[in-house]
Amino acid sequence: MDKKTIVITGCSSGFGRITALTLAEKGWHVFGTVRKETDRESLIAEAGRHGCSQNLTILFCDITQQEQVEQLMEQVTEHLRGDEAMEHEEHVPRLDALMNNAGTAYGGPIELLPIEDLRNQFEINVFAQIAVTQAFLPLLKEARGIIIMVSSIGGRVATPIAGAYNASKAALEFLSDALRIELVPFGVRVVLVEPISSPTDIWNTSLERALQRIGAQREGPYERLLQVSERFAKRFSKQGFPPQVFADMVAHILESDRPGVRYAVPRSAAIPMTIGRLLPDRLRDYLVRRTLKW
């Protein structure tokens, strides 16, 4: 296999799906993960319409399950070896890139958030990302490849209702910072991508899950905050930058000889993101509360 190769987790929808299609169209061979057969079928069908299905290999994997992560690594390795494995046992397959994209959001006031939800949030957005990274690092080291960690603006600025999600993305950011330094001697680069709101399903899914778990307590002291958050979630699911902007940014990173450490998506988000971090804590709290009318 002489094409550039990449593993992308979470290709059922959103950023993962559109990035997989974009890179496949550009000639990369993409190993994309999904969890359902229906998602696999629809992605293959869409790739066919784009004329790039030959560059896409769809594999099943729940990245929170260690045995499935190990199986994913073995499947990718077999694909990369191809027929050469029969002729040259010493052949080392090449993986040029990994994009840790799979993730989810658990919403709700921290007081009412079930501890199990908090554990699940970190299991998916933190522990599973590192498990996948560890599994593929031997191949990435051999290729002196690149790891793209999909974080969020929420990993740098916390907001009510999204506290669990914010915390998980902040943890991913610090782990990525440490990993980036650790991997310098091996020639493996680590890049953080921090998108702001985009019309994907993550916030609607998060809100529906939160309201289900909170149940009757929704009518309690946090009622107004939940109502405002619900309006924001619905707006975010319909507005924001087009997901194609994210995919084009990833393509730019992969094509760059010296990619940066972190990228805001869209680029225009970098300025307000930086200002938000530099504001005094109390002023930032006041602005968030004023926005949410809380």
> Residue 87's pLDDT is what?
47
Given the residues 106, 165, 222, 263, the one annotated as active site: 165
> Residue 89's pLDDT is what?
52
Q: Are 72 and 33 in contact (CB under 8 A)?
A: yes
Mean pLDDT of 146-168: 92
Give CA 283 to chain center in angstroms: 30
The domain spanning residue 220 has which CATH number? Answer: 3.40.50.720
> Residue 244's pLDDT is what?
95
Q: What is the pLDDT of residues 53-91, one digit of tens each?
A: 999 999 999 999 999 999 999 999 999 988 444 445 555
At 117, the pLDDT band (50, 70, 90 cuts) reads very high
Give CA 276 to chain center in angstroms: 22
The CA distances from residue 130 to 33, 63, 90, 181, in Å, are: 16, 10, 28, 15
Phi and psi at residue 60, to the nearest 5°: -85, 135
Better-scored residue on pLDDT, 24 or 200: 24
Mean pLDDT of 239-260: 93
At 221, the pLDDT band (50, 70, 90 cuts) reads confident
Q: What's the maximum distance between 2 C-alpha atoms anywhere in the chain?
A: 68
> Residue 247's pLDDT is what?
97
Residue 161 CB burial class (10 angstroms; 0-12, 13-18, ≥19): buried
> Residue 256's pLDDT is what?
95
pLDDT at 197 over 80: no
- Of 7, 48, 14, nearest to 31 by C-alpha is 7
**For all residues of the chain together, what is the average pLDDT?**
89
Q: What is the pLDDT of residues 159-177, one digit of tens each?
A: 898 999 999 999 999 999 9
pLDDT over 70, % of the chain: 89
> Residue 85's pLDDT is what?
45
At 252, the pLDDT band (50, 70, 90 cuts) reads very high
Counting the structural domains of the chain, the total is: 1
Q: Distance between CA atoms of 124 and 234, rounded to whole angstroms?
A: 23
Q: Distance between CA atoms of 135 and 233, rounded to whole angstroms?
A: 34
| Size of the chain, expressed as the number of residues it contains | 294
User: Where in the sequence is the domain holding 19, given as residue range(s)?
Assistant: 5-292
> Residue 19's pLDDT is what?
98
Note the pTM of the prediction, 2 decimals. 0.89
Mean pLDDT of 102-111: 90
pLDDT at 201 over 90: no
Please say if 222 is a catalytic residue.
no
Please say if 169 is a catalytic residue.
yes
Q: What is the pLDDT of residues 21-62, one digit of tens each?
A: 999 999 999 999 999 999 999 999 999 999 999 999 999 999
> Residue 86's pLDDT is what?
42
Given the residues 26, 106, 141, 169, the one annotated as active site: 169
